[in-house]
Amino acid sequence: MLYYLFDYLEKQYQLPGASLFGFITFRAAMAVILSLLISTIYGKRIILYLQRQQVGESIRDLGLEGQAEKAGTPTMGGIIIILATLIPVILFAKLDNVYILLLIVTTLWMGTIGFIDDYIKKFKNDKEGLKGKFKVLGQIGLGLIVGTTLYFHPGVTIKEKMPETQQELVEVRGEEAKQFKPEEKSTKTTIPFVKSNEFDYADLITWINPDYAKYAWLLFIPIVIFIITAVSNGANLTDGIDGLAAGTSAIIVLTLGIFAWVSGNFIFSDYLNIMYIPRVEEITIYVAAFAGALVGFLWYNTYPAQVFMGDTGSLTIGGIIAVIAIAVRKEWLIPVLCGIFLAENLSVVMQVSWFKYTKKKYGEGRRIFKMSPLHHHYQKIGYHESKIVTRFWIIGILLAIISIVTLKIR
């Protein structure tokens, strides 16, 4: 809202300083500062309110060190992350931007699913919470909305770079017009570490018949659903010890913010020889607010945690990360960038699958890990959770650097 206000004041009255709101970097800086203030200052009030409402975590006895002391710690702290993200976004972002609107819908949608799950666990005394099938249905519903919007909305376009020989023949005004073709709808995305790193989902069916390109949405939308479901569940599984999910997610989302910024700037897109996505740079504002909210939440969530994010936070985090990755067309980078989430997911799948297989074959279930998800395995070995979290953060930073390097290494 403030963007529109100061844009009006600049155009009508040339108010000194109003033009600053036209710069992505300034609005992103303001968004991260405000989100940090909201999550740290008002976060404490939300925690106290949750304590008064006796919204404490019920801890299952898993035989982990320090587990009993966490009983009664307020949960549903994801509300802090959601509020600290949405308020700066509403104030500083362009609210008519399709990517911003999608991310707001994603935050509210996944936040509602997570809230219902936490509510059932606490107030209905059902430790299982919302049944898994309903969570999956919610994730599929969001995937349908996101996939359909990204495929059919006229504002979701790309600009491909012209061949150098063609650039020399075209005489038009402006550097952007010289370097890039007109905007067009496209199902193209990028694949890391490949020289010609663009891949078109339509190619999966046009090899049968070129006319089938118009049916590419039948492939694109299910892929979007799968990504959103996988990443949100990965974030949910990662939320098991103090500060792990929030810290690793902050690293991931800041990396995606860099991709959004360079992909939405034709100068950087031209220099890095990457896909130029008009209007996607506005996601930088959302990333700034979201990262600030996560870091501010860590103020209370680091060991020993004063609040847990619950599914209200973890499902929302995963959904936002997935949608940003798809919007900036870096979804094929998720296995690298979100390597922590992937490892946590795989550890559960491997543990359950192996246990069922060995039980059927030998009559007794066997385990690969001492406990899954993976972070609990290291707790069982004897590592303190603070050491586990810090080392996972370090690995997350390494994966983020590798992801950024893919901009040039192909």
In the chain, % of residues over pLDDT 70: 91
State how far the Cα of 318 lies from the Cα of 316, in Å rounded to an integer: 5
Domain assignment present for residue 367? The answer is no
Number of domains in the chain: 1
Q: Give residue 208's pLDDT.
A: 86
Q: Report whether pLDDT(336) > 90.
A: yes
Beta partners for residue 161, in sequence order: 180
Q: Mean of the pLDDT values across residues 112-127? A: 86
How confident is residue 59, by pLDDT bands cut at 50, 70 and 90?
low
277: in domain: yes
Encoded amino acid at 202, one letter: A
Q: Would you say residue 160 lies in a domain? A: yes
DSSP symbols for 136-195: HHHHHHHHHHHHHHHHH-TT--BBPBPPHHHHHH---SSHHHHHBPPPB---EEE-TT-S
pLDDT score, position 169:
45
Give mean pLDDT, residues 258-262.
95
CA dihedral 279, 281, 286, 288 (to 10 degrees): -170
Largest CA distance in the chain: 80
pLDDT band at 123 (very low <50, low <70, confident <90, very high): confident
In a domain, 166, yes or no: yes
The answer as to whether 303 is a domain residue is yes
Q: What is the DSSP string of 85-121?
A: HHHHHHHHS-TT-HHHHHHHHHHHHHHHHHHHHHHHH
pTM, entire model:
0.92
Handedness of CA 161, 165, 166, 169 (dihedral sign): positive
* Helix and strand element counts for the chain (H, E): 18, 2
- Please tell me the predicted confidence (pLDDT) of residue 156: 94
Angle, vertex CA 299, rays to CA 295 and CA 301, nearest 5: 95
Q: Report residue 339 as tokens.
A: 């390597």
Whether 143 is in a domain gets the answer: yes
The predicted structure's pLDDT at residue 294: 96
- With bands split at pLDDT 50, 70 and 90, how would you rate the model's confidence at 363? confident
d(CA 105, CA 144): 12
pLDDT one-digit tens code per residue, 61-82: 565 666 666 677 888 899 999 9
pLDDT tier at 139, thresholds 50, 70, 90? very high
> How many angstroms separate the CA atoms of 232 and 334, rounded?
12
- For 291, the 3-state DSSP assignment is helix
| Dihedral angle sign, alpha carbons of residues 189, 194, 196, 200 | negative
HSE-CB of 158 using CA atoms within 13 angstroms: 21
For 294, the domain range is 2-57+69-333
